[in-house]
A and B are shown apart, each in its own frame.
Chain A
Amino acid sequence: MTEAVLHSPSRHRRLAGQISLRLATFVVALLIVAVIAGPWIAPYDPNLVELSERLKSPSLAHWLGTDHLGRDILSRLIVGTRVSLGSVAITLAVILVLGITIGGASGFIGGRIDQIIMRVADIFLTFPTLVLALFMIGMLGTGLVNVIVAIALSHWAWYARIVRGIVLSLRHREFLLAARLAGASRMRAFVEHLLPATLSQLVVLATLDIGHMMLHVSGLSFLGLGVTAPTPEWGVMISDARQFVWNQPMLIFWPGLALFVSVMAFNILGDALRDRLDPHLRAEHVH
């Protein structure tokens, strides 16, 4: 340890950290409310076209203005949370299940199966993630479901490797041996004793990845490969607003800001979670 590493942050900065964590928690809570109750909170129907009201600047009736079809932007943002964030939640769940089963099997069974699984994972890791996701969408077709599958297929290998690493590091610990000696089957030892120990680290990693995944999903929607036109989704909204960049730039500003603030909130939360649950967890420590 060097003095640089031991140097503790100033009080001033710790306070700033606490405030930003509170804010981040608040933003995430808002997002969750919007995901669950979005259509009921939104002041207007997000797909209500009113051509007489098109491209209006913010007003009391439309707090953030209206888009090129006269639809209320605030309502579209609120309702869009469900697609933008919901799809990320599903993607992460799929990746976690894939990562835990494949990586867990690899680390727990070991031997030749481990070898084969890890070589396959290595192959998937030779692709840049977005290129692999694009390729998968090309093979499966466009659309939200296929985007979720594509992102899951392009990320599972990272998680499988991490889970395998954790499992290998725990495999010979006493509590596992004790469980086996007490008569637990291999499957039961894995599910009841190994999995909980792995899970806390995975939760941290997943929280840190939510922001990253949101950027992926909305980026693909922005390219027109994910969610398509009338559905309110932040990436689609940015893409729709491109043609009005010269006369109504705020159309691009709001959905981007929503995306940016949400990603930032999840990043802050993930960092805090890591510091609290698992201060030693760093990507490079996991092989």
Chain B
Amino acid sequence: MASFILKRILLLVPMLLGASLVIFLMLRLGPSNPAMDYLRLSRVPPTPQALEHTREMLGLDRPLAVQYFDWLGKAGRLDFGTSYALQRPVLPDLLHFLPATLQLAGAALALTFALSVPLGMLAARCRERWPDQAVRFLAFLGVSMPNFWLGFLLVLLFSVHLGWLPAMGRGGLAHIVMPAVAIAFMSLAINARLLRASMLEVAGQQHVRYARLRGLSERHVERSHVLRNAWLPIITAMGMHVGEMLGGTLIIESIFGWPGVGRYAISAIMNRDYPVIQCFTLVMVAVFLLCNLAVDILYALVDPRIRLSAEGQQ
């Protein structure tokens, strides 16, 4: 198991390097002119001398490979440069906003798991009866609902109309409920349907029939024989949904005035503040890869077949 995890962690290195290469090359080979944007954001008139000086200062006059390894080396020492617009180091600012984003995305992920498992179980248990129809309808709504619109509908109902929940800001549980629901709704709906299908498939297999024939209680059969096999696809789907959730969080943050990386990143994108954009992208990719690492490890823990085959390879 340990070697499986280690191998999986080592795999992160080439992935992050690949991502860093894209992030670096898109800026240098794309249509953008960093020196020009630097001067614009520092409100210096772009005279030829100023441009020349800035190019030198930003190291843009050096060969591409030298620039890349210089940037990568600094990034390795957690130095992502200074923001053109704010003239402050990028990473500390980003890390200041990151916890709020991770909290919200994490809450959405937890909510997805906490609701989709019971809903999926309920639907499978009551196949073709009204709870199953209700879950099907929910899934039907979920895959088509724009998350930012759902956010507004929730605000309209629970803040404007009923006055139960605060419409803006970060605080206690009351603040996080609506944004988390708005982010989680789609994955939640998809996962509930997926679990239903997966449970019904497992429930038809021989070993489950045998468990029933042995006289085990329906509850025990469901929990130990059906669910244990049936939630493997859910774990995989969760890993795929993490990316969507991170993206959804960035959009939803702007609706609920959630003080996360979203606003910081989006104003940098509008300003073309390249060091901020690069750092933001790399950090989000790292978060995404770490989440998928966690999913893979969880998968191996739950499913001995993966674990054993990974160990058997050595």
Contact = CB atoms under 8 A, between A and B. Distances in A.
Interface of A: 2-5, 7, 10, 119, 122-124, 126-132, 134-142, 211, 215, 218-219, 222-225, 238, 242, 245-246, 249, 252-253, 256, 259-260, 263-264, 267
Interface string B237-270: 0000011101110110011000000000110111
B73 to A, nearest CB: 20
B126 interface: no
12 contacts: A2-B201, A4-B200, A123-B19, A131-B281, A134-B281, A138-B269, A223-B266, A225-B270, A245-B152, A245-B160, A249-B156, A249-B160
B64 interface: no
Contacts of B270: 142, 224-225
Contacts of A263: 144-146
B204 A3 contact: yes
B144 A238 contact: no
Contact of B269 (A5, A142, A267): A142
Contacts of B145: 260, 263
B277 interface: yes
Interface of B: 15-16, 18-19, 21-23, 26-27, 30-32, 127-128, 140-141, 143-149, 152-153, 155-156, 160, 167, 200-201, 203-205, 242-244, 246-248, 250-251, 254-255, 265-266, 268-270, 272, 274, 277, 280-281, 284-285, 288-289
B139 to A, nearest CB: 11
Contacts of B280: 135
A225 B153 CA distance: 23
A138 B268 contact: yes
Contacts of A127: 19, 22, 243, 281, 284-285, 288
Nearest to B208: A2
A126 B23 contact: no
A137 B152 contact: no
A141 B32 CA distance: 8
Contacts of A141: 32, 272
Given A219-B251, A245-B160, A135 B246 contact: no
Given A4-B201, A224-B266, A122 B18 contact: yes
Nearest to A122: B18
Contacts of B274: 138-139
A135 B160 contact: no
Given A225-B269, A260-B145, 5 more contacts: A126-B15, A128-B242, A130-B246, A252-B152, A256-B152
A127 B255 CA distance: 24
Contacts of A134: 250, 265-266, 269, 281
A2 B209 CA distance: 12
A135 B23 contact: yes
A140 B244 contact: no
B288 A128 contact: yes
Question: Which of A127, A224, A245 has most B Cβ within 10 Å?
Answer: A127
A123 B21 contact: yes
Given A123-B19, A123-B22, A256-B146, A238 B243 contact: no
Given A2-B205, A249-B156, A140 B146 contact: no
A128 B244 contact: yes
Nearest to A220: B251
A62 B55 CA distance: 56
A259 B250 contact: no
Closest 7 interchain pairs by CB?
A130-B247, A2-B204, A128-B243, A256-B149, A4-B200, A123-B18, A264-B144
A252 B149 contact: yes
Contacts of B254: 223
A252 B148 CA distance: 10
A130 B281 contact: no
Q: Which residue of A130, A238, A242, A245 has the most chain B CB atoms within 10 A of its CB atom?
A: A130
Contacts of A123: 15, 18-19, 21-22
Given A139-B277, A238-B152, A252-B152, A130 B250 contact: yes
A55 to B, nearest CB: 16
A223 B252 CA distance: 10
Nearest to B22: A123
A140 B32 contact: yes
Contacts of B244: 128-130
